[in-house]
Amino acid sequence: MSTTPDVQKNLSKQERVAYIDRRLGELYPDTPVPLDHADPYTLLVAVLLSAQCTDERVNQVTPELFARAATPSTMAELSVATIRGIIRPCGLSPQKAKAIKRLSELLLADHDGVVPVSFDALEALPGVGHKTASVVMAQAFGVPTFPVDTHIHRLAQRWGLTRGRNVTETERDLKKVFAEGRWNDLHLQIIFYGREHCTARGCDGRICEICRTCYPLRKHAKITRKP
């Protein structure tokens, strides 16, 4: 039995939302966090390292890092140079090393060594922006968020879910159309689908299953706004 609507027209926005929600749930019923971690602190560090770096590369680097320091107290004892030497393959290592050491010190000084369950407190830490804080709040603490990176931003535009000019506007639009209880899973399901089927070069808005189902009459490549 076909899992896609039998249509001869582009779907309405309401139809697109319902189809995307259902189809992603079918394709990815389990949504494991792709970054290897053991607790909120190691997840925070891993997400920070993932900026402009693949999850695969981060997962290659963190075993050595966490073997040396897997808590704020042990990380704070390492020198910036030592941290940088371990995380160098992730890129931006000078900035990331300084941020990891300093945020570890601040967790000890201001939060008793515990990752805070607060957007404001997380975003006040060095190297932690809204997207990183959102991932930690969602995946470590189960707080409904909808972290949006450049990949989700691209797919949301291809699927007609947003006209956002940046990730902030796209996050707002996605939260409006999907049920809050689905936000955390959808964040990962969209990432998984994008990597597998709707990549930056592998689909232009007319090739993958979801793009073809949502817009069967689309004749030209979808030009997406970069955030």
Active site residues: 131, 149
**C-alpha–C-alpha distance, residues 11 and 26, integer Å:** 19
Please provide residue 52's backbone torsions phi and psi, each rounded to the nearest 5 degrees: 55, 35
Burial degree of 129 (CB within 10 A; 0-12, 13-18, 19+): middle
Question: What is the Cα–Cα distance from 90 to 205, expressed in whole angstroms?
Answer: 30
Q: Supply 161's token pair.
A: 């879910």
Helices (H), the chain: 13-27, 40-49, 55-68, 72-77, 80-87, 93-111, 119-123, 130-141, 150-158, 167-177, 183-196, 209-214
Count other C-beta atoms under 10 Å from residue 209's C-beta.
Answer: 15
